[in-house]
Structure 1
Amino acid sequence: MRRVEIGRIGKSYGMEGGLKFRGEAVVFDLKKVYLEGLGYRAIEEVAELNNEIVLYLTGVQNRQEAERLAGLRVYADPDDLPRLEEGEYYYFELIGRPVFVDGQPFGEVVDVEDGPQDLLIIKARGSSLRAQSKTYMVPLQAPYVHIKADGIYIEAIPGLLE
């Protein structure tokens, strides 16, 4: 099964093995996570403290054990993620989808950049090296971006793909 990255472990928190977590809030809905190189760990508790997420994992009982985990990537199994409403997607579901501009094949989504305005990172198709190395950033929530079962359709507006 392909796991999806949902965040990273930050610094330790407190003396009882708390771990600051930088990533998706979906961690509140999970019972377990996969730690990079270490395997699965059950989640004992997830707390939000001072606008930060703090995880307490089985087997991490003190500050020293927590400090050893700093920087590790955190993954979840897709089947463990909560079901989304119709028309909503997890970012990993968009990566690899074909992109069409004005109905014509254009490229594919290679990443989604999370931020105040989420961006699709699109790698263009083309026969030249220049075309193959070019990437475009398109706002995901823009009214001219339509996600369908067979791909992502973009209505070109002036300056968008230049």
Structure 2
Amino acid sequence: MRLVEIGRFGAPFALKGGLKFRGEPVLLHLERVYVEGHGFRAVEDLYRVGEELVVHLAGVSSRELAEALVGLRVYASVEDLPPLEEGRYYYFALIGLPVYVGGKQVGEVVDILDAGAQDVLVIRGVGERLRDQTERLVPLQAPYVRVEGEAIHVEPIPGLFD
């Protein structure tokens, strides 16, 4: 079973064990999550309070119990994730993919950053061209970036990979 990080717990909410959740909205479709250091927990309730998502987990019935989980990473089993529409991808699936510019491999995706308005691929160089392992940041924005098969193709952006 493969686990992928989907977020972290924020501050406790109210008195009955609620926790603010910061991360992927995929949580809305899960029946259970894996909590760092605590194993799998069933999701008993989930709702929005303003812009924030609040989750209640099995076995976490008080504010004190919730406080012990603040800041912990939350994971989901890949098998539990819902399928996505065509053309959409889970970010964990993009990590490690080779990146090509003009038909030549220039690196691979090592991370994806949330930059607010758009997400950004962190590409680390490979091969002779980028021996120094320099990291480049490329906006994950169509039509400049295409995911095709098991690779990412980036339109040449002047100066980015020179």
Q: TM over 0.5, yes or no?
A: yes
Report the Cα distance in structure 1 between the residues aligned to 2:68 and 2:144, rounded to whole angstroms: 46
Post-superposition offset of 1:46? 0.6
Post-superposition offset of 1:61? 0.4
Report the Cα distance in structure 1 between the residues aligned to 2:132 and 2:35, rounded to whole angstroms: 34
Post-superposition offset of 1:127? 4.4
Consecutive aligned runs of 4 or more in structure 1 exceeding 4 Å deviation: none
Contact residue 123 and residue 132 of structure 1 kept, 8 A: no
Q: Does 1:31 align with 2:31?
A: yes
Question: Which letter does structure 2 place at the counterpart of 1:138?
Answer: V
What is the match of residue 126 of structure 1? Answer: 127
Report the Cα distance in structure 2 between the residues aligned to 1:145 and 1:83, rounded to whole angstroms: 22
Identity of aligned residues (%): 53
What is the match of residue 117 of structure 2? Answer: 116
Q: Does 1:17 align with 2:21?
A: no
What is the match of residue 101 of structure 2? Answer: 101
Post-superposition offset of 1:140? 0.8
Post-superposition offset of 1:160? 3.0
TM-score (norm 2): 0.94
Q: Deviations over 1:67-119 (max 9, x none)?
A: 01111000001111110011110000100001111001111000111231111
Report the Cα distance in structure 1 between the residues aligned to 2:27 and 2:161, rounded to whole angstroms: 35
Which stretch shows the higher mean deviation, 142-151 or 40-49? 142-151
Cα RMSD over matched residues? Answer: 1.4
Post-superposition offset of 1:150? 2.6
TM-score (norm 1): 0.94
Q: Deviations over 1:43-62 (max 9, x none)?
A: 00111102101000000000
Q: Deviations over 1:10-33 (max 9, x none)?
A: 111100000011111110110000
Alignment size in residue pairs: 161
**What SS does structure 1 have at the residue aligned with 2:132?**
helix
Report the Cα distance in structure 1 between the residues aligned to 2:157 and 2:142, rounded to whole angstroms: 11
The within-5 A match list for 1:1-162 is 1-114=1-114, 115-127=116-128, 131-162=131-162
Report the Cα distance in structure 1 between the residues aligned to 2:103 and 2:144, rounded to whole angstroms: 12
